[in-house]
């Protein structure tokens, strides 16, 4: 017990380490830098850098790196040694304030979506003091933002920090109206991470898992998840050993790994940390994904973070739990106990309702990837339609406000905001609907659409900015109000009336919801290209520009990168499939059918038997292989045709329509063939081998 407390954050240069290691006034400067965004003087930065270096070297570090998050969605690093020539043939260990604060990076191979050609070729990294430096292996990691020389964001962290500032600015205006001066609002995030653990030997034997992180072929096994015997089941010893080591690694990095359990699909698991501020949460989730893969490897397993590694069982998501709190720890999405607190809660709630309705498309876009397209709307994850679940109690409250009706039935008085106390909303009753993309769960919202492999920066950038916009409008309306109570009441009521179409407590998996959502005018952006087609809509560009989160050029670069990455992912998958089918599947099955003929010939010659199995199996399989071969050619042509499109959106659309369809047809044909082929002949481990191999 004690040991864990000592090991926790032992590799992090956090506030307590800083307090121990920095002179008092330097520490105070650092606090102001972290809490108020005040720039550090170079002389102060030098002192911090030196203390950081001494601490890192004591922990065995030899190098430092500016750690950043390019638009690939993963992290990037380049290590530099602390060594510097001492002048007498030896070395001394050095690390300056300048090196801490800013780094130059050529980084020309990172996707820039045209930004770099428009502006500057080189980029630079800038220290983010709000996320603490840490040690991994023998390297001191310094979290940084990555920008072009013109200041354009080339990464995920810069817009995230900008969006946090935007919501902070607007929430502060609203809080001031409620008499809370000098509080700093901050967004909090806790992300539940789902993943699969597969034996390394099985993965090594499959090109699709090795190259794409998911199976492109694979006949349905006799048993999947239908018995619900894996969900919350006893954790197998090998998995338990993995989880234990992972927790230890995460705890040393100050990551609050808290909950672990088996998930619905065989070989699927989940890890949930305790929430923290959005920025740190995003960094921690990146580290969690990285360490899951590393630790799994040490245990002879592979951690699959793909959204849909296996057909026929659930894929993996990442629930993004989001709220907004004050620096003093008051959760603004907690209803509170007094009428005044309730009024403030209802206003923040309405800000989220309006934001989700107005920017449904952006929320959908923030989770749009080729991998996640397999999940959303597949009756295992929320549909692609964005809607919001509030639970019965809260919905009744909003309805009472909307209709200026009595609530609760007791005193039969009209529900008056700021006068009546709301009932408590127990978590249990607000958490029942698992089919909703965006659910209120007592004192936070849970966005359930993000994919397991994606950075959670994107959904949080959208959420922060969209809610900042609602709060801006609310603050504008309230600041000049003559009668605050009445204006507040009207504002909340008007918002409910205008945006109630986004509220849906029913079953999101039900086919009738699609029709109902259409009737309500909600968007149903089924696939990534269909969603991305809306990224540059005028209202979206205006939103991000107004709040200083993305310039129009930065947003356009994201649009290009996201579409290109969609195309690239599917092209790699399609080509892997063609490779597997042409070079493994077809030759293996052809050899098998030839063997059947030889067997039949020998059996007929020797025993004069009819050989019904051999003959009909050979006929059936030959028919299938011809079909597989033909679809394989069609798939090749579809790739060719799609690549010929000049416009990126058109190319992505062709991939979605033609390539993905041909891949599905090829898979169906191969899977049918696998079911007819002996185990020893089929060139790949089966789904049974893959999903049930870890003990
Ligand atoms: P469930 O499986 O029911 O969705 P979990 O307990 O596994 O719930 O996960 C809930 C997640 O929500 C945790 O990561 C938790 O830290 C996080 N969370 C709780 N309160 C807040 C909050 N105020 N802001 C952000 N995240 C929160
Ligand atoms: Mg959850």
Lowest mean pLDDT among 117-131, 182-196, 345-359: 117-131
In whole numbers, what is the pLDDT of the chain averaged over residues? Answer: 93
Question: Pairing state of beta strands 12-13 and 133-136?
Answer: antiparallel
State whether residue 253 is helix, strand or coil: coil
Cβ contact 437:386 at 8 Å: yes
Tell how far the Cα of 455 is from the centroid of ligand 1, in angstroms.
18
Task: Round to whole Å and give the CA distance between 99 and 45.
Answer: 9
Cα 686 to the chain's mean position, in Å?
29
Longest dimension (CA), the chain: 104
pLDDT at 42: 93
* Mean pLDDT in residue range 261-274: 95
Token pair for residue 166? 């935007």
Token pair for residue 488? 């507040």
Residue 128 has pLDDT above 50, yes or no: yes
For residue 226, the tally of other CB atoms under 10 A from its CB is 8
pLDDT at 327: 84
State whether residue 152 is helix, strand or coil: coil
Task: Round to whole Å and give the CA distance between 281 and 428.
Answer: 25
> For 45-63, what is each residue's pLDDT tens digit?
999 999 999 999 999 999 9
Percent of the chain whose pLDDT exceeds 90: 83
pLDDT class of 372 with cuts at 50, 70, 90: very high
Tell how far the Cα of 441 is from the centroid of ligand 2, in angstroms.
9
* Mean pLDDT in residue range 273-292: 98
* Mean pLDDT in residue range 484-505: 96
CB of 573 within 6 A of ligand 1: the answer is no
**Helices 157-177 and 339-358, packing angle to 10 deg:** 140
The alpha-helical segments, DSSP class H, found in 37-140 are 42-58, 97-101, 115-118
CA angle 470, 474, 477 (to 5 degrees): 145
Cβ contact 635:662 at 8 Å: yes
Cβ contact 10:249 at 8 Å: no
pLDDT class of 432 with cuts at 50, 70, 90: low
CA angle 72, 691, 314 (to 5 degrees): 60
* Mean pLDDT in residue range 618-627: 96
Task: Round to whole Å and give the CA distance between 493 and 405.
Answer: 12
pLDDT at 10: 97
pLDDT at 578: 98
Residue 118 has pLDDT above 60, yes or no: no
CA angle 278, 280, 285 (to 5 degrees): 95
CB of 540 within 6 A of ligand 1: the answer is no
pLDDT at 351: 98
Look at ligand 1, atom 5, and give the residue with the nearest C-alpha.
Answer: 272
Beta bridge partner(s), residue 276: 189
pLDDT at 104: 85
Task: Establish how many alpha carbons lie within 13 A of residue 245's alpha carbon, considering only the half-sphere containing its beta carbon.
Answer: 14
Which atom of ligand 1 is least distant from the CA of 443?
23
**Helices 457-479 and 278-298, packing angle to 10 deg:** 170
Task: Round to whole Å and give the CA distance between 689 and 695.
Answer: 12
Residue 89 has pLDDT above 80, yes or no: yes
Task: Round to whole Å and give the CA distance between 551 and 632.
Answer: 43
> For 142-159, what is each residue's pLDDT tens digit?
999 999 888 899 999 999
Structure-token match 């290009």, residue found: 560
Cβ contact 535:365 at 8 Å: yes
State whether residue 161 is helix, strand or coil: helix
Straight-line distance from the first to the last Cα atom of the chain, in angstroms, rounded to the nearest whole number: 28
Token pair for residue 41? 């003087």
Residue 412 has pLDDT above 60, yes or no: no
Beta bridge partner(s), residue 187: 324
Task: Round to whole Å and give the CA distance between 309 and 194.
Answer: 12
> For 308-325, what is each residue's pLDDT tens digit?
999 999 999 999 999 999
CB of 444 within 6 A of ligand 1: the answer is yes
Structure-token match 């709630």, residue found: 349
Beta bridge partner(s), residue 189: 276, 322
Which ligand has its closest atom nearest to the C-alpha of 431? 1
Structure-token match 């659309």, residue found: 653
107 or 136: which carries more pLDDT confidence?
136
CB of 442 within 6 A of ligand 1: the answer is no
Pocket test for ligand 1, best of 191, 192, 250, 460 (most atoms within 8 A of CB): 192
Task: Round to whole Å and give the CA distance between 202 and 688.
Answer: 11
Beta bridge partner(s), residue 192: 319
* Mean pLDDT in residue range 258-279: 96
pLDDT class of 413 with cuts at 50, 70, 90: low
Task: Round to whole Å and give the CA distance between 485 and 344.
Answer: 11
Tell how far the Cα of 391 is from the centroid of ligand 1, in angstroms.
17
CB of 288 within 6 A of ligand 1: the answer is no
pLDDT at 423: 65
**Helices 457-479 and 339-358, packing angle to 10 deg:** 120
* DSSP-assigned states of every residue in 279-303: HHHHHHHHHHHHHHHHHHHHTTEEE
Q: Which distant-in-sequence residues (6+ apart) come within 8 Å of 119 by Cβ? A: 148, 149, 150, 152
Cβ contact 552:541 at 8 Å: yes
Q: Which distant-in-sequence residues (6+ apart) come within 8 Å of 624 by Cβ? A: 589, 669, 672, 673, 676
Residue 465 has pLDDT above 80, yes or no: yes
**Helices 660-674 and 612-643, packing angle to 10 deg:** 160
CB of 321 within 6 A of ligand 1: the answer is yes
pLDDT at 427: 58
* DSSP-assigned states of every residue in 331-344: BTTS--SSHHHHHH
* Mean pLDDT in residue range 443-464: 97
Q: How deeply is 607 buried, as exposed, middle or buried, from its count of CB atoms within 10 A (0-12, 13-18, 19+)? A: exposed
pLDDT at 410: 47
CB of 319 within 6 A of ligand 1: the answer is yes
Task: Round to whole Å and give the CA distance between 189 and 145.
Answer: 19
> For 628-671, what is each residue's pLDDT tens digit?
999 999 999 999 999 999 999 999 999 999 999 999 999 999 99
Which of 68-72, 116-120, 392-396, 554-558 has maximum average pLDDT? 554-558
Which ligand has its closest atom nearest to the C-alpha of 259? 1
* Mean pLDDT in residue range 534-543: 98
Q: Which distant-in-sequence residues (6+ apart) come within 8 Å of 170 by Cβ? A: 468, 469, 471, 472, 475
Beta bridge partner(s), residue 304: 196
Look at ligand 1, atom 14, and give the residue with the nearest C-alpha.
Answer: 190
CB of 323 within 6 A of ligand 1: the answer is yes
CB of 276 within 6 A of ligand 1: the answer is no
pLDDT at 419: 67
Task: Round to whole Å and give the CA distance between 428 and 684.
Answer: 45
Token pair for residue 63? 């190098």
Model's pTM, two decimal places?
0.95
Q: What distances in angstroms separate CA 140 from CA 98, 234, 306, 517, 617, one per listed residue? A: 15, 38, 29, 50, 62
CB of 189 within 6 A of ligand 1: the answer is yes
CB of 594 within 6 A of ligand 1: the answer is no
* Mean pLDDT in residue range 449-478: 98
Tell how far the Cα of 319 is from the centroid of ligand 2, in angstroms.
5
Residue 343 has pLDDT above 60, yes or no: yes
Tell how far the Cα of 18 is from the centroid of ligand 2, in angstroms.
35
């Amino acid at each position: 017990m004690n040991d864990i407390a000592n090991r926790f954050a032992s590799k992090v240069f956090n506030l307590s380490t800083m307090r121990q290691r920095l002179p008092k006034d330097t520490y105070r400067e650092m606090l102001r830098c972290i809490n108020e965004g005040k720039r550090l003087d170079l002389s102060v930065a030098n002192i911090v850098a030196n203390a950081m270096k001494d601490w890192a070297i004591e922990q065995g570090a030899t190098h430092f790196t500016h750690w950043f998050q390019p638009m690939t969605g993963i992290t990037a690093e380049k290590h530099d040694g602390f060594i510097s020539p001492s002048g007498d043939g030896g070395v001394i260990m050095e690390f300056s304030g300048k090196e801490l604060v800013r780094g130059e990076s050529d980084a020309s191979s990172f996707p820039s979506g045209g930004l770099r050609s428009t502006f500057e070729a080189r980029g630079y990294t800038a220290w983010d003091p709000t996320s603490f430096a840490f040690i991994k292996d023998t390297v001191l990691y310094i979290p940084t933002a990555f920008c072009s020389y013109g200041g354009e964001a080339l990464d995920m962290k810069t817009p995230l920090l900008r969006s946090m500032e935007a919501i902070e600015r607007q929430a502060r205006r609203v809080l001031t109206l409620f008499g809370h001066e000098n509080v700093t609002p901050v967004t909090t995030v806790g992300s539940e991470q789902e993943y699969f653990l597969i034996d390394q030997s099985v993965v090594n034997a499959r090109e699709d898992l090795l190259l794409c992180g998911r199976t492109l072929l694979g006949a349905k096994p006799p048993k999947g998840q239908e018995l619900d015997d894996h969900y919350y089941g006893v954790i197998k010893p090998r998995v338990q050993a993995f989880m234990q080591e992972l927790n230890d690694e995460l705890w040393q990095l100050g990551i609050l790994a808290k909950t672990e359990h088996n998930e619905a699909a065989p070989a699927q698991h989940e890890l949930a940390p305790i929430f923290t501020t959005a920025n740190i949460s995003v960094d921690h989730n990146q580290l969690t994904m990285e360490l899951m893969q590393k630790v799994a490897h040490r245990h002879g397993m592979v951690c699959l973070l793909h959204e849909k590694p296996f057909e026929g069982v659930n894929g993996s998501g990442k629930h993004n739990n989001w709220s907004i709190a004050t620096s003093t720890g008051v959760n603004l999405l907690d209803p509170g106990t007094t009428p005044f607190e309730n009024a403030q809660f209802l206003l923040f709630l309405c800000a989220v309702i309006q934001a989700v309705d107005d920017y449904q498309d952006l929320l959908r876009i923030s989770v749009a990837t080729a991998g996640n397209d397999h999940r959303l709307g597949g009756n295992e994850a929320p549909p692609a339609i964005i809607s919001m679940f509030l639970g019965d109690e809260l919905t009744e409250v909003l309805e009472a406000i909307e209709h200026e009706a009595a609530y609760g039935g007791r005193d039969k008085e009209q529900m008056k905001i700021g006068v009546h106390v709301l009932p408590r909303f127990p978590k249990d009753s607000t958490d029942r609907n698992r089919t909703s993309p965006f659910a209120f769960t007592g004192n936070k919202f849970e966005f359930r659409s993000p994919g397991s492999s994606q950075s959670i920066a994107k959904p949080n950038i959208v959420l922060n900015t969209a809610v900042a916009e609602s709060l801006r409008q609310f603050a504008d309306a309230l600041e000049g109000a003559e009668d605050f109570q009445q204006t507040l009441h009207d504002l909340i009521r008007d918002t409910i009336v205008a945006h109630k179409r986004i509220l849906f407590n029913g079953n999101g998996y039900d086919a009738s919801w699609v029709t109902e959502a259409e009737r309500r005018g909600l968007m149903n952006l089924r696939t990534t290209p269909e969603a991305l087609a809306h990224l540059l809509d005028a209202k979206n560009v205006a939103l991000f520009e107004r709040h200083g989160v993305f310039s129009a050029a930065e947003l356009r670069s994201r649009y290009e990168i996201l579409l290109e990455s969609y195309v690239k992912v599917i092209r790699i998958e399609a080509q892997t499939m063609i490779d597997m089918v042409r070079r493994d599947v077809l030759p293996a099955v052809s050899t098998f059918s030839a063997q059947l003929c030889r067997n039949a010939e020998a059996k007929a010659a020797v025993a004069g038997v009819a050989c019904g199995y051999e003959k009909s199996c050979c006929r059936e399989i030959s028919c299938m292989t011809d079909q597989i071969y033909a679809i394989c050619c069609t798939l090749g042509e579809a790739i060719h045709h799609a690549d010929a499109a000049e416009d990126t959106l058109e190319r992505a659309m062709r991939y979605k329509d033609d390539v993905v369809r041909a891949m599905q047809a090829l898979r169906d044909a191969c899977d049918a063939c696998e079911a007819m082929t002996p185990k020893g002949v089929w060139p790949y481990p089966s789904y049974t081998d893959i999903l049930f191999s870890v003990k």
